[in-house]
């Protein structure tokens, strides 16, 4: 009995993470059938429009607050090729984007050396709608999720370049730098949000580290 209890306590962060993931999936399913608005309807309409044109980007669509280049269009467009029901595209798309959110955060956590239990606990918190705006705009209607995903990946590759500086071949580091700049470029294609949200803080951190490391 004590061994079982110790095992459960040891796996508690993982259990909480799985419960949070299932809860978030169930809320996304609920959203699909009980909530909608014009903003999110336009996201699905764009996905359906791109699927009909067999394109991921279209010059025939008047975008709203920002472009959809490396964004939700990469998820909703293929889903409209698989499903006719818009609600199915809605909640399956939210599930995929939430998994991408967790995956990108896992990559960042590996680069900063976050321990396993700390990752599961923080990822579980990330999947909970701690406020209405975060739940709507990131987890379920997914407006800001692509920016967050790209931000995690950019920061992760940035740290990877620093960690492997002088330890690996020029080609390996070159590939990391190429991936870093490609992700930064992809994020900037969607609009200006990635720049103040990710690029400028990383640039400021690089300057601060350079200054503080001087003898």
What mean pLDDT comes out for the span 96-105? 97
What mean pLDDT comes out for the span 120-127? 96
Helices 200-212 and 145-163: crossing angle, nearest 10°?
A: 20
Cα separation, 53 vs 77, in Å, equals 10
How would residue 215 be classed by pLDDT, with cut points 50, 70 and 90?
low
- Identify the top-confidence range among 37-41, 73-77, 191-195: 73-77
pLDDT digits (tens, 9 = 90+) for 55-98: 988 888 887 767 788 899 999 999 999 999 999 999 999 999 99
Residue 121 token pair: 């606990």
The mean-pLDDT minimum among 24-28, 67-71, 126-130, 135-139 falls in 67-71
Question: Between the CA of residue 176 and those of 146, 147, 165, 169, what are the distances in Å?
Answer: 21, 20, 11, 11
Cα maximum dimension of the chain: 65
> pTM of this prediction?
0.89
pLDDT of amino acid 2: 65
How would residue 207 be classed by pLDDT, with cut points 50, 70 and 90?
confident
Judge whether residue 9 has pLDDT over 70.
yes
Q: How many CB atoms lie within 10 A of CB 169?
A: 9
pLDDT of amino acid 1: 67
Average pLDDT, the chain: 87
pLDDT of amino acid 166: 67
What mean pLDDT comes out for the span 176-191? 85
Instruction: Say which residue, 207 or 90, is predicted with more confidence.
Output: 90
What mean pLDDT comes out for the span 142-166? 88
Judge whether residue 186 has pLDDT over 90.
no
């Amino acid at each position: 009995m004590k061994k079982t209890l110790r095992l459960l306590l040891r796996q508690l962060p993982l259990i909480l993470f799985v419960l949070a993931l299932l809860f978030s999936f169930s809320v996304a399913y609920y959203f699909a059938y009980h909530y909608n608005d014009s903003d999110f309807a336009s996201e699905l309409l764009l996905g359906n429009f791109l699927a009909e044109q067999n394109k991921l980007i279209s010059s025939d669509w008047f975008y709203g607050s920002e472009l959809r280049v490396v964004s939700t269009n990469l998820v909703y467009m293929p889903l409209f090729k698989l499903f006719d029901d818009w609600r199915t595209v809605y909640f399956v798309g939210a599930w995929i984007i939430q998994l991408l959110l967790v995956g990108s955060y896992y990559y960042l956590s590996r680069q900063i050396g976050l321990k396993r239990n700390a990752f599961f606990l923080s990822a579980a918190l990330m999947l909970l709608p701690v406020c209405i705006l975060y739940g709507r705009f990131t987890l379920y209607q997914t407006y800001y999720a692509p920016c967050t995903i790209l931000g995690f990946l950019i920061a992760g590759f940035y740290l990877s370049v620093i960690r492997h500086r002088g330890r690996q071949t020029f080609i390996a580091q070159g590939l990391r730098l190429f991936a870093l700049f490609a992700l930064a470029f992809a994020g900037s294609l969607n609009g200006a949000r990635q720049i103040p949200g990710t690029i400028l803080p990383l640039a400021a951190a690089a300057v601060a580290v350079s200054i503080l490391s001087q003898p």
